[in-house]
Amino acid sequence: MATNNVKIQKLGKSILTHGVIYLLAFITIAPFIWMILTSLKDISDIFVYPPKWFPDKIQWNNYARAFQAAPFGRYYLNSIFVAVTVTLGQLITCSMAAYAFARLKFWGRDVLFYIFLGTMMIPYQVTMIPSFMVLHWLGWIDSYQALIVPGLASAFGTFLLRQFFLTIPKELEEAAYIDGCSKFRVLWQIILPLSKPALATLAIFTFMGTFNDFIWALIVVNSEHLRTVQLGLAVFRDRYITDWDLLMAGSVMATLPILIVFFFAQKYFIKGITLSGIKG
Amino acid sequence: MKKLIAVLLTACMLFTTCGKNKKQNENGNVTITFWHSFVASTIPALEDLISQFEKEHPGIKINAQYVPTGDALIQKLITAIQSKTAPDISWIHSDFLADLVDADAIYEMAHFIEGENGLSQEELSDIYPALMQYASLRKKIYSIPMEATNLALIYNKDLFRKAGYDAERPPQTWDELKTYAIKLSEDYNHDGIYDQIGFFVPVYPSSGPLSGWMTWQWIPYLWQAGGYIVNEDQTEVLYNSKAGVQALTLWKEIYDSLNLSSFTVDYDVAFASQRVAMSMDGPWNLPRFNNIMKNIDWAFAPLPEGPEKRATVVGGEYLVIFKQSPHPDESWTFIRWIIRPDVQARWAMKSGYLPVRQSVKSVPEFTQYLEENPNFKVFVDQMEVAQAQRPLDNFGLQITRHIAEAIEAATLGGMDPQEALNRSAEKSNKLLKSVQKE
Amino acid sequence: MNQQQYINRQHRKNFITGILFLTPTLVIFSMFILFPVLFSFFLSFHKWNMFSSSQSFIGFANYQRLLTDPEFWQVLKQTIMYTLGTVPLNMIIALFLAMMLNKKIKGKKFLRTAFFTPVIISPVAAALIWRWIYDPNFGLLNYATGFFGIPPVNWLNDSRAAMAALIIMGVWKNLGINMVLFSAGLQGIPDTYYEAAEMDGAGRWSKFWNITLPMLTPTTFFIMIMSMISSFQVFDIVYVLTSGGPMGSTKVMVFYMYEYAFKFFEMGYASAVAYIFFAMLAVLTLLQVKYMRTRSGYEGV
Check whether residue A49 and residue A100 sit in a common domain.
Answer: no
* Chain B positions in Cβ-Cβ contact with residue C243 (cut-off 8 Å): 204-205, 207-211
Residue A75, CB-side half-sphere exposure with 13 Å CA sphere: 29
* Chain A positions in Cβ-Cβ contact with residue C14 (cut-off 8 Å): 104-106
* Residue in chain C nearest B212 by alpha carbon: C263
In a 10 Å sphere around its CB, with 0-12 CB exposed, 13-18 middle and 19+ buried, how is residue B172 labelled? middle
How close is the nearest chain B Cα to the Cα of C194, in Å? 35
C169: in domain:
yes
pLDDT in tens, C33-56: 999 999 999 999 999 988 888 888
Check whether residue A149 and residue A118 sit in a common domain.
Answer: yes
Number of domains forming the structure of chain A: 2
What is the average pLDDT score of chain B?
A: 90
Look at residue C255 and tell me whether its pLDDT is greater than 80: yes
Question: Which pLDDT does position C15 carry in this prediction?
Answer: 78
Check whether residue A108 and residue A206 sit in a common domain.
Answer: yes
Question: Which pLDDT does position A275 carry in this prediction?
Answer: 41
* Chain C positions in Cβ-Cβ contact with residue A158 (cut-off 8 Å): 25
For chain A, which residues lie within 8 Å of any Cβ of chain B, measuring from their own Cβ? 43-44, 46-49, 69-70, 77-78, 81, 84-85, 88, 128-129, 132-133, 136, 141-144, 215, 218-220, 222-226, 231, 234-241, 243, 246
What is the average pLDDT score of chain A?
A: 86
8 Å CB contact of C190 and A275:
yes
- Please tell me which residue, B235 or A14, carries the higher pLDDT value: B235
Check whether residue A138 and residue A244 sit in a common domain.
Answer: yes
Look at residue B28 and tell me whether its pLDDT is greater than 90: no
Q: A44: Cβ–Cβ under 8 A, 6 or more apart, which residues?
A: B272, B291, B292, B293, B294, B295
What is the average pLDDT score of chain C?
A: 88
* Chain A positions in Cβ-Cβ contact with residue B69 (cut-off 8 Å): 237-239
Question: pLDDT class for B20, splitting at 50, 70, 90?
Answer: very low
Poorest-pLDDT segment among A224-228, B207-211, B217-221, C5-9:
C5-9
Answer left, alpha or beta for residue B118, where phi above 0 means left and psi between -120 and 50 means alpha.
beta
Q: C62: Cβ–Cβ under 8 A, 6 or more apart, which residues?
A: C44, C45, C47, C268, C269, C271, C272
Q: Which domain holds residue A125?
A: 70-271
> Do B24-149+315-387 and B152-314+391-437 come out as alike in CATH topology?
yes
Q: Are B317 and B146 in contact (CB under 8 A)?
A: yes
CATH number for C140? 1.10.3720.10
Check whether residue A126 and residue A147 sit in a common domain.
Answer: yes
- Please tell me which residue, C80 or C150, carries the higher pLDDT value: C80
A30: in domain:
yes
How close is the nearest chain B Cα to the Cα of C129, in Å? 11
Nearest to A222 by CA among B334, B38, B72, C53: B72
Check whether residue A114 and residue A25 sit in a common domain.
Answer: no
In this structure, what are the phi and psi dihedrals at residue B426, rounded to the nearest 5 degrees?
A: -60, -45
- Please tell me which residue, B229 or A56, carries the higher pLDDT value: B229
Poorest-pLDDT segment among A14-18, B137-141, B366-370, C294-298:
C294-298
How close is the nearest chain B Cα to the Cα of A173, in Å? 24
* Residue in chain C nearest B195 by alpha carbon: C137
Look at residue B23 and tell me whether its pLDDT is greater than 50: no
Q: What is the mean pLDDT of the segment spanning C81-106? A: 91
C38: in domain:
no
Question: pLDDT class for B6, splitting at 50, 70, 90?
Answer: low
Q: Which domain holds residue C241?
A: 63-296
User: b or e along B18-51 (b: 16 or more beta carbons within 10 Å of the residue's beta carbon)?
Assistant: ebeeeeeeeeeebbbbbbbbbbbbbbebbeebbe
Q: What is the mean pLDDT of the segment spanning A187-200? A: 87
Question: Which pLDDT does position B356 carry in this prediction?
Answer: 96
Domain ranges of chain B: 24-149+315-387, 152-314+391-437
Residue A278, CB-side half-sphere exposure with 13 Å CA sphere: 19
- Please tell me which residue, B411 or A1, carries the higher pLDDT value: B411
Please tell me what DSSP assigns to residue A269. H
8 Å CB contact of C245 and B193:
no
Question: Which pLDDT does position C297 carry in this prediction?
Answer: 54
C111 closest CB neighbour out of A25, A125, A158: A25
Neighbours of chain B (3+ CB pairs under 8 A): A, C
Pairwise CA distance, residues C82 & A257, whole Å: 32
Question: Which pLDDT does position A34 carry in this prediction?
Answer: 87
Q: What is the mean pLDDT of the segment spanning B217-232? A: 95
Check whether residue A89 and residue A26 sit in a common domain.
Answer: no
Complex ipTM value: 0.86
Last residue of a domain, one of A43, A61, A79: A61
Q: What is the mean pLDDT of the segment spanning A64-89? A: 92
C178: in domain:
yes
8 Å CB contact of C265 and B103:
no
Q: What is the mean pLDDT of the segment spanning A27-52? A: 85
C14: in domain:
no
Look at residue C160 and tell me whether its pLDDT is greater than 60: yes
How close is the nearest chain B Cα to the Cα of C245, in Å? 5
A23: in domain:
yes
* Chain B positions in Cβ-Cβ contact with residue A222 (cut-off 8 Å): 65, 80, 85
Check whether residue A141 and residue A225 sit in a common domain.
Answer: yes
**Chain C 106-135, residues with CB within 8 Å of chain A CB atoms:** 106, 108-122, 124-126, 128-130, 132, 135
Number of domains forming the structure of chain C: 1
**Which CATH topology does B152-314+391-437 take?**
D-Maltodextrin-Binding Protein; domain 2 (3.40.190)
- Please tell me which residue, A11 or B379, carries the higher pLDDT value: B379
pLDDT in tens, C101-154: 887 788 888 898 899 999 988 888 888 788 888 988 778 888 888 888 888 888
The model's pTM: 0.90
pLDDT in tens, C191-234: 888 888 888 888 888 889 888 888 888 889 889 999 999 999 99
Check whether residue A158 and residue A45 sit in a common domain.
Answer: no
Question: pLDDT class for B41, splitting at 50, 70, 90?
Answer: confident
8 Å CB contact of B204 and C134:
no
- Please tell me which residue, B83 or C11, carries the higher pLDDT value: B83
Interface A:C, Cβ pairs < 8 A? 275
Nearest to C280 by CA among C100, C75, C143, C93: C75
Q: What is the mean pLDDT of the segment spanning B188-208? A: 90
Last residue of a domain, one of A61, A84, A107: A61
Question: Which pLDDT does position B156 carry in this prediction?
Answer: 96
A191: in domain:
yes
8 Å CB contact of A225 and B18:
yes
* Residue in chain C nearest B409 by alpha carbon: C247
Last residue of a domain, one of A20, A40, A61: A61
CATH number for A196? 1.10.3720.10
- Please tell me which residue, C59 or B13, carries the higher pLDDT value: C59
Look at residue B1 and tell me whether its pLDDT is greater than 50: no
Check whether residue A83 and residue A104 sit in a common domain.
Answer: yes
Question: Which pLDDT does position A243 carry in this prediction?
Answer: 80
A129: in domain:
yes
Check whether residue A177 and residue A238 sit in a common domain.
Answer: yes
Q: B328: Cβ–Cβ under 8 A, 6 or more apart, which residues?
A: B88, B107, B111, B112, B321
A278: in domain:
no
- Give the architecture (CATH level 2) of B24-149+315-387: 3-Layer(aba) Sandwich (3.40)
Question: pLDDT class for A239, splitting at 50, 70, 90?
Answer: low
Look at residue C71 and tell me whether its pLDDT is greater than 90: yes
Check whether residue A90 and residue A216 sit in a common domain.
Answer: yes
Question: pLDDT class for A269, splitting at 50, 70, 90?
Answer: low
A49 closest CB neighbour out of B80, B275, B285: B275
Poorest-pLDDT segment among A164-178, B95-109, B215-229:
A164-178
Question: pLDDT class for A183, splitting at 50, 70, 90?
Answer: confident
pLDDT in tens, B351-390: 889 999 999 999 999 999 999 999 999 999 999 999 988 7
B204 to chain C, any CB pair closer than 8 A? The answer is: yes
- Please tell me which residue, A85 or C159, carries the higher pLDDT value: A85
